[in-house]
Chains A and B, each alone.
Chain A
Amino acid sequence: MLIPGVDPYSIFRKRCFAPDSGWAAGEQWDFFLSAYNASERVRTVYSQARADKKYWVIHPEYRLIGDALPPEPKFEPSANGEDEFVIDLVNQLILNGYDPQSSSLCIDITGMLRPHLLFLVRALQKQGVSRFDALYSEPAYYRQKAATAFSAGMFSGVRQVAGYEGISNIDTSSDLLIIGMGFDAQQTKEVAEDKDKAHKIQLFGLPSLRADMYQQSVLRSREVADWLGDPSFAPANRAAAPANDPFVTANILSELVAEREARHPPTNIYLSPLGTKAQALGFALFYIGECVGKNRSIIFPFSTEYSPKTTKGLSRIWLYGIEFPIFP
């Protein structure tokens, strides 16, 4: 399964396009889904993408109503948690002609909420889907927010993401928590505090989407250094994976975990993807590839509300080809 020398998840295909390169001419799907978050890049990609059927997916947590909603066909699944939401979504897809075994599908994950993205990947895998494309668009520009005490999301609690629950080991003496680091210090703090006893590894997006974003995320992480149990920014507590690469992220996770298992098997392993959506996708792939049925789970700091990010423009489009099973 895992051959030393070839990173296991590197065989998956990823491609990068410039927005006005006419990329869409070379791609065509039966179905195209995109989570609407009112940002320019998501709307631009939606208009460029070619598919027989295109649908927006509306997250109730974005609190978009009336004119804020896009006019095109959309799915508005029920609000109760990521599991209900995704099940409803997949059912609606199937009702509209999607065949898990044969239809081609592209999902723009840019605007999707992480827990829902994670469960969607798992649900598709369970449905017997053999391949689908995930699309991720990078903005030209992130509006840098000053550190605020509370993001729009009011934290309702940290829990495991549906489909990523695993076995719980009562011996928690050497738990491990790997956090995909992002910009929201609050989220990081909530997750770190929830697994207070666990040893934490900070997986930073490096190379970051933009050159200055890595240092920004480090700065944010230092604000919650206390919760991370990392007063000195020790190299042993850090790892790096490109912010826009789910496959390398999955590889790095695989490496990190294998290393720990060899040295001193963790009693429980928790994963929390708080960085980019591409990184979250990587966490999902790693979990499905190597964690099912074990003492490993993905946890997330849930909120009742989210504000769509303030970004501008569109700089690059990534297409990731996901294939199941991950290890045939």
Chain B
Amino acid sequence: MAEANDPYEFYLGQVKLLLESAWERKVDIKTVEDWLAQFKGDPDPFKDERLQALFLLSQFMYFGLFEVRALLKSLYRDHYEYGLIQEIRAANVNVVDRTVILAKLLVERKRTRFVALGNPSESGAYLLYLFRQENSLPKNLFIAPAQVFRSVATSSGTEHEISDPGIRHYVLIDDLCGSGTQAEQYSVDLCIPLKALALKAGHDVRISYIALFGTTDGMSRVRKLGRFDQVDCVVELDKSFQCFSAESRYYANEAPPISRTRAEAMARKYGARLCPGHPLGYKDGQLLLGFSHNTPDNSLPIFSYDGPGGASWTPIFKRYPKV
């Protein structure tokens, strides 16, 4: 193929194939070329920033609607339901009668609530909507974090108690566990009081945290907190997904003029302008990751930065900031 002859045309061809398929025609080649034009071009491929940027683009992992739906399906089926089925089998002499299993499954599920993290207008709520649709789940299994507790008036003022003591399992769903800071915050806001109240009321409550995507470090951090009974992700991103790390999978078979060091320098240079303080993504995330509904801030800002205020820049995978 053209690779040996012309790496630029080769990677552009890959991007074109991706645009026409997995990337849902999110943008067109014209936009790609406008985006590339923001970097410095040079006839010498070893000095050409555009080639480095184009290579990074060709490695970007974009999960469109079809893919996100498939992952949400997997979340429910493989990280929630499957475990339940095995528990039921184990507790019932390895039953194989599927009618029996289904009945017990439904009982358990009635005592489960799925919780969207973050503000109702944030992506968490949207994800949970897709999650419910994709898995054909009844509405009443879904609550907002604020609905977990309720205030009751007592002689000494107001107290918190668990809204529905019949719930035995809370499943918290997130789209990306990057550094783990957010999950940690959720654990403080939810897990600690919930477990305490449950203990007081004399019953067990299980709290799961399941992210669509999780970095190995982030997941590990959340696990170490010891506040969740289950910490899982559907797709794990180990250190090799940090695009400029020494273990980066993107540059493992580096074929010059593609170069990790040059690419990093370039990404830093422009990233510093776009996102001072986090030139390579939030907490140095260095991810090449985006979804149909948003691009996380752990990804390189050169892909997603879209104003407002500050530098003007044409992004490829727009990010809608939390504001």
Contacts and interface: CB of A to CB of B under 8 A. Distances in A.
Do A and B come into direct contact in the complex, CB within 8 Å? yes
Contact of B21 (A10, A233, A240): A233
A6 B98 contact: yes
B98 to A, nearest CB: 4
Interface string B14-44: 1001101110000000000000000000000
Contacts of B67: 206, 214, 240
A210 B238 CA distance: 9
Contacts of B61: 211-212, 215
B255 to A, nearest CB: 9
Contacts of A240: 66-67, 70, 73-74
Helix, strand, loop or mixed for chain A's interface?
A: loop
A232 B24 CA distance: 10
Interface in B74-108: 74, 77-78, 81-82, 85-86, 89, 96, 98-99, 101-102, 105-106
B234 interface: yes
Interface string A244-274: 0100100000000000000000000000000
A156 B42 CA distance: 47
Contacts of A5: 102, 105-106
B102 A219 contact: no
A211 B241 contact: yes
B246 to A, nearest CB: 14
A219 B18 contact: yes
B62 interface: yes
Contacts of B98: 3, 6, 8, 11
Given A6-B98, A238-B66, A207 B74 contact: yes
Helix, strand, loop or mixed for chain B's interface?
A: helix
Given A141-B240, A242-B78, A245-B78, A6 B105 contact: yes
Contacts of B101: 6, 11
Nearest to B1: A147
A223 interface: yes
B22 A211 contact: no
A235 interface: yes
Interface of B: 1, 3, 14, 17-18, 20-22, 59, 61-62, 66-67, 70-71, 73-74, 77-78, 81-82, 85-86, 89, 96, 98-99, 101-102, 105-106, 213, 234-237, 240-241, 249, 252-253, 289
Interface of A: 3, 5-8, 10-11, 13, 141, 143-144, 146-147, 206-208, 210-212, 214-215, 218-219, 221-223, 232-233, 235, 238, 240, 242, 245, 248, 323, 328
The 6 closest A-B pairs by CB, nearest first: A240-B70, A233-B21, A222-B17, A3-B98, A6-B102, A218-B22
